[in-house]
Chain A
């Protein structure tokens, strides 16, 4: 993990390369002297000053810039910060960065700015992760949700649930602390009904969060069907370019192939798979195992068949399925059948239709998360923990119904609190911090 060493760090905050302007960030313990060296003026707090930027040692003028000084703790990192907007172009940027390094700063490591912000209590882990998701976000929509996290609202919602659990726990603990003679006990029914209410609140976030996964990690759409049914061809047609190998030999695709498109602001991952059938070939079977595991992770299945897809048994499928009749250019006479999308990868027939179906699905995802006012968990870590937290409340409910001692129920509720603390990073846990901050790129 990045050590918190208090050194002055610098990095480019805007994407490298050409642009009209570039923004550089410097963060460190006390930067007033450094600001003076660089600009030959005294800083005004949070004031964007138009000035000349000097080399801190030689005094040479490097560029005309806008420099803003932020005083600790009211800055992104919680330290003193200087933000410099300079002219775009790598030469200027590199010159300025080199000068700042000469002045005693060092290059920031990936995630170091956010890491310092976390360390200085400027953001909790949820917010830090939101920054990471923003950086990694593949689509427009996820940016919106990421910003919501950054705002700290999700943390607040969770903390509110946590404090309600603490209230309930206080009741239980109080009763455990005194003997039967001293204090009247709350009925298990009442405790159960309070737990139920809390579990509903957590459920709401859990449900929204499966959309959260779709928003940030993408909607996973698997192409599935018999060998040679035209899956890879359809995959290429949807992408608009040839990504998968197509051939007339059944069993061409063995490993799965993934590609991304964006629909309705959401990242969508298309997954081409090996067909499903009995085979003695070891490699084929391997491909089938992979297909099965892809189906387990998927949100949506495109079931492709050149004859009648409705005849294929798909009852075991736990996810929504779109039935597709492929190669419709060959036999144009095939009758329309209900709920089946007719396509031809050769003539592009029905491809738009299919994309519309997919878009509709994506719109539903965003709508449902909007109804949940964006309170979604963005990373797998958060979702797993929140799932745990939900499970813990269910366990507590079960315990109250089984008449198990309140010492045990109380212990279970304490477990819930730890789950929430873990989600927002209240308990220092190196492993979590390491993974969270390793997903960053430099400058954040």
Chain B
């Protein structure tokens, strides 16, 4: 009897979790090897999931049968939709998370899956036969025969923690780094590089003068992330607090800049521009008198407080003195100072759009080792890598999402075509189809597709279909309903297109929508409002989409196309894009050269 195909997931952070889950749902045997089985699904940095751009990712992961959305709904202690003052396409949900409950819930999910086996250990090497993965090799010498390895090692590869002048090897605070795997990967001809990221200090709750901090509650009637979460959704609404930095804080930090690990040049990796350290913000936004800091509880009843906005690699005493310049934090004590971590990553032009490496069959990379930052970005990649690793062993078609289908598609396409010099974070502006890739329609966009790939359950598909029906019925209803406005008669559908108008502002609309869920009403209304703009957007981007359909053979010899500029030729032959679309998005490739390639590929096929 042929044994069940096996996939090894190396590392059980947010990428590893979704990789394992998707692969297991497809039906392969999944062995998760992770360095510490008590540190599964750890939230290494902030106690929150979602946020601008990232909230979209969580919705999509959920629409594709992933775990993150459900877990966030269950472990969330405050929910808030951000960007409500802007257009609905950029509204994004964010939840404060109980950091204790989250790993617990996720571990339970994984362990109870019949196809998943969780093993404590460290993958340090692998064997290949004919450029195809055959075995994962662990530090203790044990070997696991496998069809694929998905490496999800996060910040652990040769990790070094920096606190001021002090530095020591670690994967995360209190955890060993992973040493050896990088070496094995590089030995197979991969290039690697270094990146860094930082996390703020954790405060002792009793030492904060809470009366001097401003309250910040979440939304009163939030919508959950997951379609599987039971309605009505009535989560807790535990407050966070806001304090502001001031001149004294800034001066103190500025005087000590030379002691910051980053500014003194001790860290060679580039840090994220979008989640800058406090010393970064002070240098870069000199004109700002003050920056907002959020004091966030790390779990229910937590005595440990996360200082959102104060990520730093200053010496502990400087961090402490600076914070003590803020009235509410005059007597503050640290549970742990902020620190920065520096780690290995592999430039992602070495990957295909399935996240399999171009060099070795069955070797996949997902998560922070791909140069991204954030739980949601990691989880998205995990899902795609895990699904594809499983699908490939079963002989199916690759599961790839286009830039027009999902933020996940944008994320992965950006990774494999753009040069990344700093940790990559999801932004709504990266999506040229932003108006159609909304949070609220993630399920309508993706669930059926996920079901066909085998990663979405029948139950979820049914819920989604029910929702989609409600939305189309509502839209149809709006078309039929006539209302009067300033003496002219028009359909409710047309009326809703006007800003500040909605289904339930209208008497007839209220009657119509009575029997539908508020989610369906919101989506129907937004669909109607955005319809015209989405059509224009589609027409604009449709042209580019065509280029994505033109495949470039992996063996294509760019050197025989002498008319390419030498710069383009060099980039193209190193990166070997899979499609003309990818080629057209590569930095350093001239549009005219894409024209040449287009003509060549079409005339030779």
Contact = CB atoms under 8 A, between A and B. Distances in A.
B317 interface: no
B540 A119 contact: no
Interface in A91-124: 116, 118-121, 124
Contact of A408 (B428, B435, B584): B435
B96 to A, nearest CB: 15
A173 B544 contact: no
A430 B598 contact: yes
Interface stretch (A3-11, A32-40, A81-89, A154-162): A3-11
B125 interface: no
A29 interface: yes
Contacts of A404: 87, 499
A334 B429 CA distance: 73
B428 A176 contact: yes
A408 B592 contact: no
A406 B86 contact: yes
Given A4-B603, A78-B563, A411 B536 contact: yes
B426 to A, nearest CB: 10
Nearest to A79: B563
A418 B590 CA distance: 16
Contacts of A415: 536-537, 540
Interface string B574-605: 00000000001000001111111011101100
Nearest to A395: B536
A394 to B, nearest CB: 14
A249 interface: no
A414 B538 CA distance: 12
Contacts of A179: 51-52, 82-83
A407 B89 contact: yes
A173 B563 contact: no
B489 interface: no
Contacts of A173: 427, 429
A176 B592 contact: no
B466 interface: no
Given A4-B603, A79-B563, A403 B499 contact: yes
A177 to B, nearest CB: 5
A410 B543 CA distance: 19
Interface stretch (A136-144, A314-322, A356-364, A421-429): A421-429
Given A4-B563, A118-B592, A433-B595, A177 B86 contact: no
B565 interface: yes
A178 interface: yes
Given A119-B595, A120-B563, A176 B90 contact: yes
Interface string B170-183: 00000000000000
Contacts of A412: 533, 536
Nearest to A72: B562
Nearest to A418: B540
Contacts of A281: none
Contacts of B435: 407-408, 411
B595 A118 contact: yes
A402 interface: yes
**Interface majority SS on B: helix, strand, loop or mixed?**
helix
Contacts of A78: 563
A45 interface: no
Nearest to B536: A415
A440 to B, nearest CB: 16
A29 B561 CA distance: 10
Contacts of B274: 177
A190 interface: no
B599 A4 contact: yes
A180 B561 CA distance: 50
A278 interface: no
Contacts of A176: 83, 86, 90, 428-429
B417 to A, nearest CB: 16
B592 A119 contact: yes
Contact of B592 (A121, A410, A414): A121
Interface in B42-92: 51-53, 82-83, 85-90
B292 interface: yes
B52 A178 contact: yes
A121 B530 CA distance: 39
Contact of A428 (B499, B561, B595): B595
A405 interface: yes
B565 A121 contact: yes
B280 interface: no
Interface in A374-424: 402-408, 410-412, 414-415, 418, 421
Looking at A1, A6, A119, which has the most chain B CB atoms within 10 Å of its CB?
Answer: A119
Nearest to A116: B563
Nearest to A392: B536
Contact of B533 (A4, A120, A406, A408): A408
Given A405-B89, A428-B547, A4 B596 contact: yes
Contacts of B536: 411-412, 415
Interface in A295-327: none
A1 B52 CA distance: 45
Contacts of B540: 414-415, 418
Interface string B554-583: 000000011101000000000000000000
Contacts of B89: 405, 407-408
Contact of B87 (A79, A407, A418): A407
A406 B595 contact: no
A411 B538 CA distance: 11
A331 interface: no
A88 B390 CA distance: 72
A32 to B, nearest CB: 14
Interface in B152-166: none
B300 interface: no
B478 to A, nearest CB: 19
Contacts of A405: 86-90
Interface in B490-511: 499-500
A411 B52 CA distance: 18
A118 B590 CA distance: 12
B434 interface: yes
A406 B428 CA distance: 12
Given A120-B592, A404-B499, A180 B53 contact: no
Contacts of A6: 561-563
B86 A407 contact: yes
B560 to A, nearest CB: 8
Nearest to B592: A121
A29 B562 contact: yes
Interface in B412-464: 427-429, 432, 434-435
A177 B427 contact: yes
Contacts of B428: 176-177, 407
Looking at B86, B89, B499, B593, which has the most chain A CB atoms within 10 Å of its CB?
Answer: B86
A430 B584 CA distance: 15
Contacts of A118: 592, 595
B565 A180 contact: no
Nearest to A117: B592
Interface string A56-87: 00000000000000000000001100000000
Nearest to B80: A179
B87 A406 contact: yes
Given A5-B603, A120-B563, A428-B594, A408 B544 contact: no
Contacts of A410: 429, 434
Contacts of B53: 177
16 contacts: A3-B600, A4-B563, A4-B599, A5-B603, A78-B563, A121-B592, A121-B593, A124-B592, A173-B427, A405-B86, A407-B90, A412-B536, A425-B591, A427-B544, A428-B595, A429-B543
Given A179-B51, A430-B598, 12 more contacts: A120-B563, A121-B593, A124-B592, A176-B90, A177-B52, A177-B53, A179-B52, A405-B86, A405-B88, A407-B88, A415-B537, A428-B591
Interface of A: 1, 3-6, 29, 78-79, 116, 118-121, 124, 173-182, 185, 402-408, 410-412, 414-415, 418, 421, 425-430, 433
Q: Which 4 pairs across A and B sit closest by C-beta, in order of nearness?
A: A405-B87, A407-B87, A3-B603, A173-B429
